[in-house]
Amino acid sequence: MTGHATPPELPPGLLEEYLAGMRPVLVALAGLAERLAATRNDLAALEALRRETHKIHGSAGSFGFIEVSRLAAGMEATVKDWISWPGDPEVDRGSLTRWFVARLAEMLGLEVPRPAAAAPRPRVGPAPRPPQATTRPTQQPQRNPPPTPARARAAPPPPRPQPKAEPPAGSPAKADLPWILPPNAAPAEPPAPAIEHPPSPPPKPPPAPPKPAPASSPPLAVAPPAPAGEAPEIVFVEDDAALAELLAYGLNSRGYRFVAYRNGREALQELLALDVRGTHPLLLLDVDLPALDGYSILDALQRARPGTYRVVFTTVHGTEEEQLRGLEAGALDYLVKPISLRVALEKIKRWVGR
């Protein structure tokens, strides 16, 4: 593996899990490359590509893939330029993204994914078959009404006694009514079979679904906070699954009480409601989060719960300007990705005090 040196603090098996998690990421990146080859201005594909390269930039180095982190950082900057200039015709974005995927796979020691073009074929085949089966049964009941012409022949005898022809004249009407549906106050013999047919389709199952009473289940989603009824010492918000797992391993190994979140908006809701029991937990807060960014979370916490959390930003943006921005916003410190677990744990020890 090019540019790889396994950090000594990694537990056995965690590196293998990281590489296993990168396989579907490579497949997703290959799909984005094909989308950009077909439509160079696909903004959704460009934004997804920026997001994935950002995650790789931040996590690969923590697992020993320093060169992969640098490659992803360069690609992330390139994609940001593409988003800023969507109509720039100078670069073949699909080809460059394909190269990035191939180079990334090579540096990780993984196979280069191939675009799966055979997927749409099975969808086209079975689709037309079911409608043929459904239309045939609907036409069958329409063939049953032809017995009416037999009764139409009995119509000629009634016209002879025209003034007294009320009962025979009703006979053709009786032949028509039972085919429509049970009429209003019809004779007892024909409507009896007609009344049996409408109740057969049970329209009463729809009332069964309105059992939304289990809507009281959402409180279950509000219960991930502190373990064992104690306030957490550390809270970290990280959307990169691989890096979150690495941090969780390190914190567990040192015996810290902690909770973790992956989504910015969800994290803010939980942090506003978390019972810290008079303590001031350390909050490791990623800047680039889905739904809500780290700076917005810090601003909301400072207004709603000032002084409750001691915030340390974690991000790949390690420039002097970015670090000053975080400190001026009220952060305690700054951790630049890729994060060394050993260095991070040593800093956490000083921040937490044990």
Residue 200 has pLDDT above 70, yes or no: no
pLDDT of residue 116: 57
Fold classified for 225-352: Rossmann fold (3.40.50)
Ranking 8-17, 128-137, 204-213, 332-341 by mean pLDDT, the lowest is 204-213
Name the range with the highest mean pLDDT among 75-84, 182-191, 260-269.
Answer: 260-269
Residue 220 has pLDDT above 50, yes or no: no
Q: What count of residues does the chain have?
A: 354
pLDDT of residue 5: 58
Which H or E run includes 296? Answer: helix 294-304
Angstrom CA distances, 121 to 34, 118, 128, stand at 18, 6, 13
- With cut-offs at 50, 70 and 90, classify the pLDDT of residue 4: low
pLDDT of residue 225: 41
* Average pLDDT of the chain to the nearest whole number: 74
Q: Show Cβ contacts of residue 317 under 8 Å, excluding neighbours closer than 6 positions.
A: 287, 336
Q: Name the nearest CA neighbour of 349 among 216, 253, 269.
A: 253
pTM for the whole structure: 0.53
Q: Is 109 helix (H, G, I), strand (E, B) or coil?
A: coil
DSSP 61-108: GGGTBHHHHHHHHHHHHHHHHHHH-TT--SS-HHHHHHHHHHHHHHHH
Give the mean pLDDT of 181-191.
44
Residue 284 has pLDDT above 90, yes or no: yes
Fold classified for 14-108: Four Helix Bundle (Hemerythrin (Met), subunit A) (1.20.120)
DSSP state of 4: B
Give the mean pLDDT of 287-296.
90
Give the mean pLDDT of 207-224.
36
Q: Where are the domains of the chain?
A: 14-108, 225-352
Q: Position of tokens 């809507």?
A: 215
Higher pLDDT, 346 or 152: 346
Angle at 286 between CA 341 and CA 288, to 5 degrees: 130
d(CA 118, CA 120): 6
Residue 49 has pLDDT above 50, yes or no: yes
